[in-house]
Amino acid sequence: MRLTLSVIKADIGGYVGHSSSHPDIVELGRKSMEKAKKDGLLIDFHVTWCGDDLQLIMTHTLGEDNEKIHKLAWETFEAGTELARKLKLYGAGQDLLSDAFSGNVKGMGPGVAEMTFDERPSEPVIVFMADKTSAGSWNLPLYKIFADPFNTAGLVIAENLHAGFSFEIHDVKEHKQITMNAPEEIYSMLVFMGAPSRYAVKAVYSRGTGEIAAASSTQRLSLIAGRYVGKDDPVCVVRSQGNFPAVGEVLEPFAFPQIVEGWMRGSHHGPFMPVSLAQANPTRFDGPPRVIAMGFQLANGRLIGPRDMFDDPSYDKAREQANEIADYLRRHGPFEPHRLPLEEMEYTTMSLVMKKLAGRFKEL
Ligand code: F6R
Ligand code: MG
Ligand code: MG
């Protein structure tokens, strides 16, 4: 069956501060999805959270960018915001950048990752969700999963992966996109993918079959709003097994706690820590940045699951390493490279300080 998997998320209020989500907000999300399922709009859904972000995972047959699905998500976030205001949760409605819905949530604040495909006889999918980081944080794991034979053995030894994958890369500042092929174009590809604050992988396709393999949210909140309103806290959906990398190959890159931007005030570099849902409540210096992975088997659009994929001692070492890196980086205090370079910082007092000191700067 032809199916669309939509993951739409927003931070509509934190509990406590920006650290997590209030159970009543998650419950409100579930009720709203339940109603849409009863009304026949959705086949199935799963509502969860990562830190202060509410995550709506939905299956349906209406395709991507569908007005009804996006409206459902938007109205759920609006109702959640109302409840967040009643509870006086922190930053209520933070990611809703517009007052009125206009057909699609893109460009309005929420993050969106959607893909449409024919459900295979068995369809394992992994939904990755992050908090306290930005859209480009999937670049490194997606490269490893779909282009690096040192991560994905299947690229070398499995016939159905051997043709490689193509990467749709978005320039989030210039609003341009390019599709490049691995393995033959990896050197050029990495020129872009290695600069994740500007270039983000939007989708990955199998070159053997043309099928969609992965889709991510690439919205950069600060670029949409023109000011700081919170980090992007992106999501990414990856199909697995058969013509795609195995579940273990999809999860493997996260055993390396890469350094990403985000963390405190969206203005620091920190380690990307893979955690179970129970640990997805960033509190140390509002971090460090977290990623959770929810695994599902699809059954005619039904979401069988989730399995909490990082709830596994084999990621203990990555968490330990992430904590060590966090200690090390924190000791830099307000110095780069812990603090982001000036042009990437989401918070800055530069213009204020410059104005105050204007008369005291002398020509060299
Ligand atoms: C980062 C984040 C937090 C806040 C910080 C200050 O994405 O959400 O680190 O930036 O807690 O928040 P405000 O300015 O709302 O007091
Ligand atoms: Mg927040
Ligand atoms: Mg968040």
Residue spans per domain, the chain: 1-116, 119-364
Distance of CA 147 to the CA centre of its chain: 20
Looking at the CA of residue 52, tell me the nearest atom of ligand 1: 8
Check pLDDT > 90 for residue 344.
no
**Cα 224 to Cα 334: distance, rounded to the nearest angstrom:** 27
Give the tokens for residue 244: 């795609």
Check pLDDT > 90 for residue 213.
yes
Please give the average per-residue pLDDT across 240-268, as a whole number. Answer: 97
How far apart, in Å, are the Cα atoms of 180 and each of 157, 161, 184, 187? 22, 17, 9, 10
Give the tokens for residue 234: 């992106």
Is residue 320 a contact partner of residue 262, using CB atoms and an 8 Å limit?
no
What is this structure's pTM?
0.97
- Ligand at shortest distance from the CA of 53: 3
At residue 225 the predicted structure's pLDDT band, cuts being 50, 70 and 90, is confident
Neighbours of ion ligand 3 (CB under 5 A): 11, 51-53, 131, 233
**Cα 269 to Cα 333: distance, rounded to the nearest angstrom:** 11
pLDDT at residue number 233:
96
- Ligand at shortest distance from the CA of 12: 2
The Å distance, Cα 131 to ligand 3 centre, comes to: 5
Using most ligand atoms within 8 A of CB, pick from 133, 263, 264, 269 the residue to mutate for ligand 1: 264
The Å distance, Cα 266 to ligand 1 centre, comes to: 7
Give the tokens for residue 35: 């109603």
The length of the chain in residues reads 364
Q: What is the dihedral of CA 242, 246, 250, 253, to 10 degrees?
A: -140
**List of residues 6+ apart from 334 with CB closer than 8 A:** none
Residue at 68: amino acid letter:
K
Please give the average per-residue pLDDT across 340-361, as a whole number. Answer: 86
**Cα 216 to Cα 249: distance, rounded to the nearest angstrom:** 18
Which residues are known to be catalytic?
Answer: 11, 228, 231
Backbone angles phi, psi at 319, to 5 degrees: -65, -40
Residue at 284: amino acid letter:
R
Please give the average per-residue pLDDT across 275-289, as a whole number. Answer: 98
Nearest Cα residue to atom 15 of ligand 1:
91
- Ligand at shortest distance from the CA of 265: 1
pLDDT at residue number 43:
98
Using most ligand atoms within 8 A of CB, pick from 137, 265, 269, 346 the residue to mutate for ligand 1: 265
Looking at the CA of residue 233, tell me the nearest atom of ligand 1: 7
Nearest Cα residue to atom 4 of ligand 1:
265
**Cα 42 to Cα 64: distance, rounded to the nearest angstrom:** 13
**Cα 90 to Cα 16: distance, rounded to the nearest angstrom:** 7
Among 169-173, 237-241, 320-324, 340-344, the least confident range: 340-344
State the Rg of the chain over Cα: 20
Could you report the per-residue pLDDT of 21-48, keeping only the tens digit for each?
999 999 999 999 999 999 999 999 999 9
Please give the average per-residue pLDDT across 233-255, as a whole number. Answer: 98
Check pLDDT > 80 for residue 226.
no
Neighbours of 26 (CB within 10 A): 15
As a whole-number percent, the residues of the chain with pLDDT over 70 amount to 99
Nearest Cα residue to atom 10 of ligand 1:
265
Nearest Cα residue to atom 14 of ligand 1:
265
> Candidates 3.40.50, 1.10.3470, 1.10.10, 3.30.70; correct CATH number of 1-116?
3.30.70
Residues with CB under 6 A from ligand 1: 17-18, 91, 132, 230-231, 264-266, 286
CA angle 320, 324, 326 (to 5 degrees): 110
Mean pLDDT of the chain: 96
